[in-house]
């Protein structure tokens, strides 16, 4: 058959293919997500696989019982950065493909260059850049400190050349910065298109699994915050990491949204400095720095991210509204959850909040949606409404139901132990959780059944 070019349309969200442009993707329901690409339409007859070769491949296929497969947890490689190892589940698994996404300037390249510095002392590391020149990378490396001689650098975007270099050098770790700049000459579309990103990821996945090489891929994000390109990109890789936080602020949060080798609940906290990203060993102390004294509407609550308890300051400002419809704002938590808790306060405690503006904020810019911070939001709103401060040495946690009851939350022992470690003297928690924390001494425990009991002292 003669080869030719034809236009096809790909959905940038899920990779669905259509022969004509559609306003809504029939596969994922996304609007205005189709882009046009030119591909080869011809298929040669010689390229078809014969049935004989298929039968030979089936006979050679290695089928083994699951119980006989050896899976050793000690094969992970430590990156030298504890917060990154925590998010990855204990370190890098050889042969894994990891995607790192985030806003421009958030610190993706900086973090991976620090990984190269830590690991190149013991292992062979190859850093492939398609966006920066050698001189630019060297200037950034000079700012971060001294680099061992084991780090190899390649500035290239051609996938065929990159594949040849990786097969020849056989490094232990490869960094691709970024996947949107890579292109294959066998694909006729431009770099960054759906076809090119899919082809590049497929080739890198074959190299990672075939040569047992760990590969990190940097991915650009769209204005919605998702990795640019087809959604199949996230399905093909083993781990997807996202950098969160304001690029103008000093903190950064690394969160795993997909991890085949560990939990997706763990987070890593970093602080951006001149010499690079610095680990925040105690996020609770970092989040509470600069907390005001004797201020109404300020309450410390405890949330759990994975296995790590994090103490956060919840701030609320409630004031009389000058308009017919009061304004409600929530930063760092769910807006609808704040409205629900205010309705519970108005119904169960008789507080006249319908004519008041309410602004709720989690200090530090971190975002928390765990139900355990419900009681903290409630107490912050009541404190601001009554203009009475909560004792600064008091910490609260608990889920609030629609009947005003305070329900139990998970891991209360870790929350109380973290509060005691940071010098808090009183802990208000659900009464049903008291029996689980009786063994912790040095902190006063106050169990409450409903929100009326919790706010009685305000």
Question: How far apart, in whole angstroms, are the C-alpha atoms of residue 318 and residue 421?
Answer: 32
Q: Where do runs of H (alpha helix) occur along 63-103? A: 82-88
382 and 262, same structural domain? no
Q: What is the pLDDT of residue 110?
A: 92
Domain membership flag for residue 64? no
- Highest mean pLDDT of the ranges 185-194, 217-226, 360-369: 360-369
Q: What SS3 class is residue 144? A: helix
Is 138 or 233 the better-scoring residue by pLDDT? 138
Mean pLDDT, the chain, rounded, equals 88
CATH number at residue 185: 3.40.50.300
Domain membership flag for residue 417? yes
Q: What is the pLDDT of residue 262?
A: 87
239 and 328, same structural domain? no
For the chain, give the percent of residues with pLDDT over 90: 57
CATH number at residue 449: 3.30.230.10
Q: By the 8 A CB rule, do 368 and 426 touch?
A: no
Domain boundary among 223, 254, 281: 281
Give mean pLDDT, residues 10-26.
84
Question: How far apart, in whole angstroms, are the C-alpha atoms of residue 389 and residue 86?
Answer: 37
Q: What SS3 class is residue 235? A: helix
Q: What is the pLDDT of residue 350?
A: 94
Question: How far apart, in whole angstroms, are the C-alpha atoms of residue 220 and residue 112?
Answer: 15
Is 333 or 59 the better-scoring residue by pLDDT? 333
Whether residue 2 has pLDDT greater than 50: no
208 and 353, same structural domain? no
Q: What is the pLDDT of residue 50?
A: 60
Write the CB contacts of 403 (distance below 8 Å, at least 6 apart in sequence): 348, 450
On whether 104 is known to bind a ligand per the annotation, the reply is yes
Q: What is the pLDDT of residue 366?
A: 83
432 and 340, same structural domain? yes
pLDDT in tens, 359-400: 999 988 788 889 999 999 999 999 999 999 999 999 999 999
Give mean pLDDT, residues 253-276.
88
Please count the structural domains in the chain.
3
Question: How far apart, in whole angstroms, are the C-alpha atoms of residue 384 and residue 315?
Answer: 9
Question: How far apart, in whole angstroms, are the C-alpha atoms of residue 295 and residue 451?
Answer: 21
Q: By the 8 A CB rule, do 77 and 212 touch?
A: no
Q: Where do runs of H (alpha helix) occur along 349-437? A: 374-386, 412-421
197 and 171, same structural domain? yes
Domain boundary among 263, 281, 299: 281
What's the chain's length in residues? 458
257 and 357, same structural domain? no
131 and 49, same structural domain? no
Q: Spell out a b/e string for 418-451, using b for 16 or more CB atoms within 10 Å of the CB, else e.
A: bbbeeebebbbbbbbbeeebeeeeebebebbebb
238 and 385, same structural domain? no
On whether 15 is known to bind a ligand per the annotation, the reply is no
Domain membership flag for residue 268? yes
What is the residue whose two structure tokens read 């990821």? 201
On whether 130 is known to bind a ligand per the annotation, the reply is no
Domain membership flag for residue 145? yes
Give mean pLDDT, residues 229-250.
80
Task: Please count the CA atoms within 13 angstroms of the CA of 458 that sit on its side-chain side.
Answer: 28
Write the CB contacts of 308 (distance below 8 Å, at least 6 apart in sequence): 86, 266, 267, 283
Give mean pLDDT, residues 273-294.
87
Whether residue 221 has pLDDT greater than 80: no
Residue 125 corresponds to which tokens in the numbers above? 């590391």
381 and 249, same structural domain? no
Question: How far apart, in whole angstroms, are the C-alpha atoms of residue 417 and residue 92?
Answer: 30
On whether 46 is known to bind a ligand per the annotation, the reply is no
Q: What is the pLDDT of residue 59?
A: 61
Strand partners, 177: 129, 218
Whether residue 273 has pLDDT greater than 60: yes
Write the CB contacts of 47 (distance below 8 Å, at least 6 apart in sequence): none
Whether residue 44 has pLDDT greater than 80: no
Pick the range with the lowest mean pLDDT from 131-135, 191-195, 442-446, 451-455. Answer: 191-195
Whether residue 171 has pLDDT greater than 70: yes
**Where residue 5 falls among pLDDT bands split at 50, 70, 90?**
low
DSSP label at residue 291: P
On whether 102 is known to bind a ligand per the annotation, the reply is yes
Is 315 or 31 the better-scoring residue by pLDDT? 315
For the chain, give the percent of residues with pLDDT over 70: 90
Residue 318 corresponds to which tokens in the numbers above? 């409630």
On whether 107 is known to bind a ligand per the annotation, the reply is yes
Q: By the 8 A CB rule, do 260 and 239 touch?
A: yes
Question: How far apart, in whole angstroms, are the C-alpha atoms of residue 431 and residue 398?
Answer: 10
Q: What SS3 class is residue 278? A: strand
Domain membership flag for residue 68? no
How many Cβ atoms from other residues are within 10 Å of residue 227's Cβ? Answer: 25
Q: What SS3 class is residue 328? A: strand
Pick the range with the lowest mean pLDDT from 226-230, 243-247, 404-408. Answer: 226-230
Question: How far apart, in whole angstroms, are the C-alpha atoms of residue 336 and residue 64?
Answer: 51
Whether residue 193 has pLDDT greater than 50: yes
Domain range for 202: 74-281
CATH number at residue 17: 2.20.28
174 and 119, same structural domain? yes
Pick the range with the lowest mean pLDDT from 47-51, 118-122, 212-216, 223-227. Answer: 47-51
Q: Spell out a b/e string for 167-178, using b for 16 or more CB atoms within 10 Å of the CB, else e.
A: eeeebbbbbbbb
Q: What is the pLDDT of residue 51?
A: 65
Q: What is the pLDDT of residue 46?
A: 44
135 and 264, same structural domain? yes
Q: What SS3 class is residue 98? A: strand
Whether residue 411 has pLDDT greater than 80: yes
Strand partners, 37: 8
Domain membership flag for residue 69? no
Whether residue 29 has pLDDT greater than 50: yes
Contacts 24+ apart (CB under 8 A), 347-354: 347/404, 348/403, 348/404, 348/450, 348/451, 348/452, 349/382, 349/404, 349/451, 349/452, 349/455, 351/382, 351/385, 353/318, 353/381, 353/385, 354/326
Question: How far apart, in whole angstroms, are the C-alpha atoms of residue 7 and residue 20?
Answer: 8
Give mean pLDDT, residues 250-279.
88
Q: What is the pLDDT of residue 47?
A: 46
Question: How far apart, in whole angstroms, are the C-alpha atoms of residue 219 and residue 222?
Answer: 10
Give mean pLDDT, residues 283-304.
90
Domain membership flag for residue 303? yes
365 and 235, same structural domain? no
Domain boundary among 233, 260, 281: 281
Domain membership flag for residue 65? no
């Amino acid at each position: 058959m003669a080869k030719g070019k034809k236009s096809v349309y790909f959905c940038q969200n899920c990779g669905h293919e259509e022969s004509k442009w559609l306003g809504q993707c029939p596969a994922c329901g996304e609007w205005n997500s189709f882009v046009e690409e030119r591909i080869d339409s011809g298929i040669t007859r010689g390229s078809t696989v014969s049935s004989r070769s298929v039968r030979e491949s089936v006979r050679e296929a290695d089928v083994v019982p699951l119980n006989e497969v050896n899976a050793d947890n000690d094969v992970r490689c430590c990156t030298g950065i504890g917060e990154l190892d925590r998010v990855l589940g204990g370190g890098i698994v050889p042969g894994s493909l990891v995607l790192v996404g985030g806003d421009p300037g958030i610190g993706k390249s900086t973090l991976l260059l620090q990984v190269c510095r830590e690991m190149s002392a013991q292992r062979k590391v190859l850093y492939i850049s398609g966006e920066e020149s050698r001189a630019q990378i060297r200037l950034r490396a000079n700012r971060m400190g001294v680099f061992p001689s084991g780090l190899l650098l390649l500035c290239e975007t051609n996938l065929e050349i990159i594949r040849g270099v990786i097969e020849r050098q056989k490094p232990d770790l490869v960094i691709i910065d970024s996947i949107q700049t890579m292109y294959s000459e066998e694909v006729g579309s431009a770099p960054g298109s759906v076809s090119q990103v899919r082809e590049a990821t497929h080739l890198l996945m074959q190299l990672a699994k075939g040569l047992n090489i760990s590969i990190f891929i940097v991915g650009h994000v769209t204005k919605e915050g998702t990795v640019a390109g087809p959604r199949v990109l996230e399905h093909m890789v083993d781990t997807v990491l996202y950098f969160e936080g304001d690029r103008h602020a000093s903190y950064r949060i690394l969160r795993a949204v997909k991890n085949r080798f560990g939990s997706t609940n763990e987070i890593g906290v970093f602080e951006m400095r001149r010499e690079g990203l610095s680990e925040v060993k105690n996020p609770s102390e970092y989040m509470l720095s600069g907390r005001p004294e004797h201020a109404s509407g300020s309450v410390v609550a405890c949330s759990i991210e994975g296995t790590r308890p994090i103490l956060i300051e919840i701030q609320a400002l409630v004031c009389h509204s000058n308009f017919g419809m009061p304004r409600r704002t929530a930063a760092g938590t769910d807006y609808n959850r704040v409205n629900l808790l205010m309705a519970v306060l108005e119904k169960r405690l008789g507080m006249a909040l319908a004519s008041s503006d309410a602004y709720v904020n989690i200090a530090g810019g971190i975002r928390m949606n765990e139900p355990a911070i419900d009681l903290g939001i409630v107490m912050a709103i009541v404190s601001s409404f009554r203009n009475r401060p909560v004792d600064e040495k008091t910490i609260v946690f608990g889920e609030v139901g629609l009947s005003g009851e305070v329900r139990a939350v998970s891991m209360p022992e870790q929350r109380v132990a973290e509060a005691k470690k940071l010098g808090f003297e009183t802990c208000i928690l659900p009464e049903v959780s008291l029996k689980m924390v009786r063994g912790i001494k040095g902190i006063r425990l106050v169990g409450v059944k409903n929100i009326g009991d919790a706010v009685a002292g305000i």
